[in-house]
Structure 1
Amino acid sequence: MNGNDDFTEQSGYESYGYGEYDTEAGETHSEFEYDRQLCDIPEVVKKFLLYFRDSIDEGALYEIQNLYENTFPKLTEQFFEKRPWPEDDDIAHIVDYDYVFLILYKELYYRHIYGHISGGPTLQQRFGSFDNYCKFFNYILSTSEPVSLDLPDLWLWELIDEFVYQFQSYAQYRARLMKRTAEELDIIAANNDVWNVLCVLNVLYCLIDKSNIKRQLEVHASGGDSDSVAGDFGRHPLYKKLGYFSLVGLLQVHSLLGDYYQAIKVLENIELQSKAQLSYVPSCQITISYYVAFAYMMMRRYSDAIRTLSSVLLYIQRTKQLFSSRSYQNEQINKQMDQMYHLLALCLVLHPQCIDDALQQVLRESYHDKMYKMQCGDLAEFEACFLYACPKFLASSPPSCDDLLDDYVKEPILYQTEVFMDEVRQQRMLPTIRSFLKLYTTLPLPKLATFMYHSQLQAGDGIKKWNPIKALKELVIDLLCFKHKMKNVVWTKGTSGLGGTFQSGSELDFYIDHNMIHIADTKVAHRYGDFFIRKIHKFEELNHKLQLIKI
């Protein structure tokens, strides 16, 4: 997908293009088959559902947030830890068949199945979840004026995030053709529009268009009043927030499809470098940082990737108590944090630079062995770190159900891995060159070529015979590669994450004159004064807090 023009000019939500499909299709693989006799609903759950319905109808945001974030997870753990919540038909009479509440309830119902039920959702449940999302988006988008519904920021973000996740899950489910039965393949083939990538993109672009969020962010970034261009829908909190979160959803989808330029471009008017953004919805902003940093890394903008990762990892360190409770979102955040440390390690090996001492300490304690192997040119370690840290890529179009010769779920990730490893192979000798150049101010080219030869022998690269002329030619190529790879686009200012100027990120610079390398150390001396001042301020702040506690 090269742009948003194909989607933002749709006349209405009806153009999403999902067709008729059989939601009563036969059950597929799952260790748990839903048993209607388990629908003996506890009284406390009935009271919760009724109160939840009333709170949503009344727009009591504080109560909705408390019920959503605290009560629902507690009841899930108490009554439905290993089985689904009751189906909507079984609780409809309790909530007086409230149409909007039943849609929202089913969103939570399916999310619980995706996240907690052994064996995962069945094919019928995947179709049912898609159908429920379609009902919700039709309800809020197919109106001439904003609907009277308001939900907490966290729920709206998790709704969009779950929508993208379930699309990703279905794409991977469908790509495993060899594991599907003939009946499943027939049902999938007959319902090509279910969880179709164009449909998902169209939903997100329609939410963005309806809220006019891009224009609002553009005006806000220039210091204007965003409400002046928002329109009736854009001023409504539900549409404004869904529009904002849909931009993040597009970032995720484009990254999963391998379109990194477009992934960052959709966030053009969001101030990625603003620390205030992190206080909006923490899990949303962490997701933004992860996908933006990954896109930067794949675009060979290592300085921007390191800056993005450093900022969010320091934020998580300072607020780690927020993510200590057990919830599927916090578990996802903790996993993403580990993935981001792997990405940071990859970027620092490929593009060394100074980072915050706190992050350096974590890398030294937990990732030292991995970084050492990569610095020594261990391609297997590079690949293992990338496979762990990268998102689960998707193909832009699903495989034909008639082709059962292979498992297509691995193809996108293998392709992206090969793209990354090609870049790594080009830079394989650069850490060794850097280590030698750091020792000298001038160095003859033949001498450096000899050093490189012996270094490769020790690494067991299988060099058979010393050829001085060939070695010099290869060394010059590696030195030019060093110059080229250490220079990349770095963001300086502006609201577009794609902007920036070419800068050299190397602490070394050199030039070659008559077979002699002249080396200059461009590294800025560490300012120890600033370091101690920060520590003193931190000590004084801690001492002040202790004094307040004593009082």
Structure 2
Amino acid sequence: MEFTEEFTDEALDGYPVEYQETYEDVRPHQSSYVVPDNVRNFLIQFQRHVNQRHVDDIHQLYDSGFNRLTERFYKTTAWPSEVVGPLVNGDPLFLILYRELFFRHIYARLQPDVYHRCQSYYNYCDLFNHILSDDDPLNLSLPTQWLWDIVDEFIYQFQSFTQYRSKLSKRSTEEIDYLRNHQQVWNVHSVLNVLHSLVEKSNINPQLEAINSCQDPEKVAGTYGGDSLYRNLGYYSLIGLCRLHCLLGDYRQALKVLDRVDLNKKSTFANVPTCRVTLFYYVGFAYLMMRRYTDAIRTFCSILLYLQRTKLLIPKSYQYDQMVKQTEKMYHLLAISLTFCPMSVDESVNSSMRDKCGERMHRLTAGDEKTFTDMFSFACPKFLSPVPPPLDAGQDSHMDAFNAQNKIFLSEVRQQGLIPVIRSYLQLYTSMPIAKMAAFMDLDVEEFRTHLLRYKHKMYTPVWTSGPLLGGELKSVAGTDFFIEGEMIHITDTSVARPYGEYFVRETAKVAELNKSFRSMISHMR
């Protein structure tokens, strides 16, 4: 889909963006505001590096300089707005990038009102118009961290606005009137359209397919895909689409958009830790909600183990606290997944999980619905409804999407209610009469047969190994399987013994290699 210069109705499938509105100063009194010399020099230097495409210098100013000046001058107030234009000679592209930081600061440190939310949306429209509407790639280079933050913040602000608009009982008459006059602001179709357009413009899917086939991605990159700006934005938009579909409750589509993303390979997302955590969190959550617990456990363990090993190496960006909270959520989701499908996990991850939610894990095993609800409520994303509520209703609807997803989740909890008990009995015997085991569980024989069939059904699930994330081979993940012959249950242990020999050989080889490196280093020092 081609974007026109001003996001026309055709480009947005009937959802026009009120692009004609101009940016107005959020603090009118700033016309007389005196910019501190440090801030003035920062802005002039920032603009120069952006125009000259000095990515390393831009990253230094973006990652450190902006935050340092925020702590000193703008900890409780907004950055200057209208007075910045004359300082940078009205540079339109730089002002768009600056306003992206300006509004993000308001969201992070202050309390955005309806005006801020709408103006930030218009500024994103401005930015994406520059990126997508030109006939040639935009002459702009930005650090990968900033590019990821743009996509991440774009989706976050859409999520925040959707929640804001759903709490109508707290909105004043003026706010409701403003919302009524700006009904296409942060429309879900517009947000999806932007992300899909970035994916298509960058040719990121053909490039990923070429990489997975060990071919040269440059041959399929095209004019835009060969530019790092478009390639990175396209990649991050795939992850953004996965996140957005999870927020809307479409888990199959969330995994479908990542068909060509190989989680086992180091890729662009590995350079931005917050992006990597976001990717694995939403992939794992989608697997959990699709009842593919083995894949969910594998996904969560992979990223949690990575975070344990690299914790001290991850820079503390403005999203660091959010990443820590997301890590806590994944430990809770891992505990839920292991309750449904017990299996061995890395000892360090298991130890951390038990430290964080050990007591609650016992209640999960006992089938306590309140514990399941509390942990799910804490660990799940903030679900959204794609349809805005009628502004005249005057009722809050921000919990409707969560209640719908929680209802689906609790339905699975109830279906799995007796499975842990059945599993514990199966692990104790090699054969037993059906009537005897039914008596142990205080069930009649026919009802117990139903639960045995449910156990069989729940324990057979697709397990991903390679290729598209939706693929997988149907396997039994029970660890303990059985078959019924006449009135007898015959039980067999299907768990695979851990390859301790291979593990020790591999670790011994690592130690030998490390020892060799130390010897070489010492010899050079001498």
TM bracket (short chain): over 0.9
1:549, 1:315 → 2: CA distance? Answer: 30
Q: 1:21 touches 1:191 (CA, 8 Å); kept in 2?
A: no
Letter in 1 for 2:188: V
Tell me the equivalent position of 1:82: 76
Q: 2:35 touches 2:80 (CA, 8 Å); kept in 1?
A: yes
Secondary structure of the structure 2 residue equivalent to 1:408? coil
2:24, 2:83 → 1: CA distance? Answer: 20
**Following superposition of structure 1 onto structure 2, how do residues 155-194 of structure 1 map, counting pairs within 5 Å?**
155-194=146-185
What's the offset of the Cα at 1:398?
Answer: 0.6
Tell me the equivalent position of 1:499: 471
**Following superposition of structure 1 onto structure 2, how do residues 105-144 of structure 1 map, counting pairs within 5 Å?**
105-117=98-110, 120-144=111-135
Q: Which residue, out of 273, 280, 297, partners 2:271?
A: 280
| Change in CA separation of 1:9 and 1:471 when aligned onto 2, cut-off 3 Å | farther
State whether structure 2 residue 389 is matched by structure 1 residue 390: no
Q: Which residue, out of 403, 409, 416, partners 1:414?
A: 403
Deviates more, 1:232-241 or 1:153-162: 232-241
Unaligned runs of 5+ in 2: none
Q: Which residue, out of 137, 145, 149, partners 1:154?
A: 145
Tell me the equivalent position of 1:30: none
Secondary structure of the structure 2 residue equivalent to 1:205? helix
How many pairs align? 517
Letter in 2 for 1:270: V
1:236, 1:278 → 2: CA distance? Answer: 17
Q: 2:332 touches 2:353 (CA, 8 Å); kept in 1?
A: no
Q: 2:4 touches 2:133 (CA, 8 Å); kept in 1?
A: no
Q: 1:25 touches 1:187 (CA, 8 Å); kept in 2?
A: no
Deviates more, 1:538-547 or 1:97-106: 538-547
Letter in 2 for 1:247: L
Tell me the equivalent position of 2:490: 518
| Change in CA separation of 1:436 and 1:273 when aligned onto 2, cut-off 3 Å | same
What's the offset of the Cα at 1:501?
Answer: 1.3
Aligned-residue Cα RMSD (Å) equals: 2.4
Letter in 2 for 1:335: K
Tell me the equivalent position of 1:487: 460
Secondary structure of the structure 1 residue equivalent to 2:393? coil
Tell me the equivalent position of 2:434: 445
| Change in CA separation of 1:519 and 1:114 when aligned onto 2, cut-off 3 Å | same
Letter in 1 for 2:183: N
| Change in CA separation of 1:84 and 1:161 when aligned onto 2, cut-off 3 Å | same
**Following superposition of structure 1 onto structure 2, how do residues 233-272 of structure 1 map, counting pairs within 5 Å?**
233-272=224-263
2:228, 2:500 → 1: CA distance? Answer: 47
| Change in CA separation of 1:35 and 1:376 when aligned onto 2, cut-off 3 Å | farther
What's the offset of the Cα at 1:531?
Answer: 5.0
TM-score normalised over the length of structure 1: 0.89
Q: 1:490 touches 1:502 (CA, 8 Å); kept in 2?
A: yes
Please list the CA deviations of residues 395-448 of structure 1 after superposition, one character each: whole Å capped at 9, or x if unmatched: 0111110112x3100000110011111011100111111111111111111221
Q: Which residue, out of 44, 52, 59, partners 1:58?
A: 52
Q: Which residue, out of 303, 328, 338, partners 2:318?
A: 328
What's the offset of the Cα at 1:532?
Answer: 4.7
Secondary structure of the structure 1 residue equivalent to 2:86? coil
2:135, 2:221 → 1: CA distance? Answer: 15
What is the percentage of aligned positions where both structures have the same residue? 44
What's the offset of the Cα at 1:53?
Answer: 0.4
Secondary structure of the structure 2 residue equivalent to 1:229? helix
1:543, 1:321 → 2: CA distance? Answer: 24
Secondary structure of the structure 2 residue equivalent to 1:270? coil
1:531, 1:207 → 2: CA distance? Answer: 44
What's the offset of the Cα at 1:280?
Answer: 3.1
Secondary structure of the structure 1 residue equivalent to 2:94? helix
1:20, 1:109 → 2: CA distance? Answer: 19
Deviates more, 1:213-222 or 1:197-206: 213-222
Secondary structure of the structure 2 residue equivalent to 1:503? strand
Deviates more, 1:123-132 or 1:523-532: 523-532
2:59, 2:315 → 1: CA distance? Answer: 19
Deviates more, 1:518-527 or 1:508-517: 518-527
TM-score normalised over the length of structure 2: 0.93
1:25, 1:442 → 2: CA distance? Answer: 77
2:397, 2:143 → 1: CA distance? Answer: 38
What's the offset of the Cα at 1:546?
Answer: 8.7
Deviates more, 1:375-384 or 1:208-217: 208-217
What's the offset of the Cα at 1:64?
Answer: 0.5
State whether structure 2 residue 351 is matched by structure 1 residue 361: yes
What's the offset of the Cα at 1:537?
Answer: 6.2
Tell me the equivalent position of 1:207: 198
Tell me the equivalent position of 1:508: 480
Letter in 2 for 1:393: F
What's the offset of the Cα at 1:231?
Answer: 1.5
Q: 1:207 touches 1:243 (CA, 8 Å); kept in 2?
A: yes
Q: 2:3 touches 2:132 (CA, 8 Å); kept in 1?
A: no
2:231, 2:107 → 1: CA distance? Answer: 27
Please list the CA deviations of residues 322-378 of structure 1 after superposition, one character each: whole Å capped at 9, or x if unmatched: 3463x3311111111111111111111101111111111212322221211101111
2:315, 2:506 → 1: CA distance? Answer: 27
2:121, 2:522 → 1: CA distance? Answer: 52
Q: Which residue, out of 94, 104, 107, partners 2:87?
A: 94
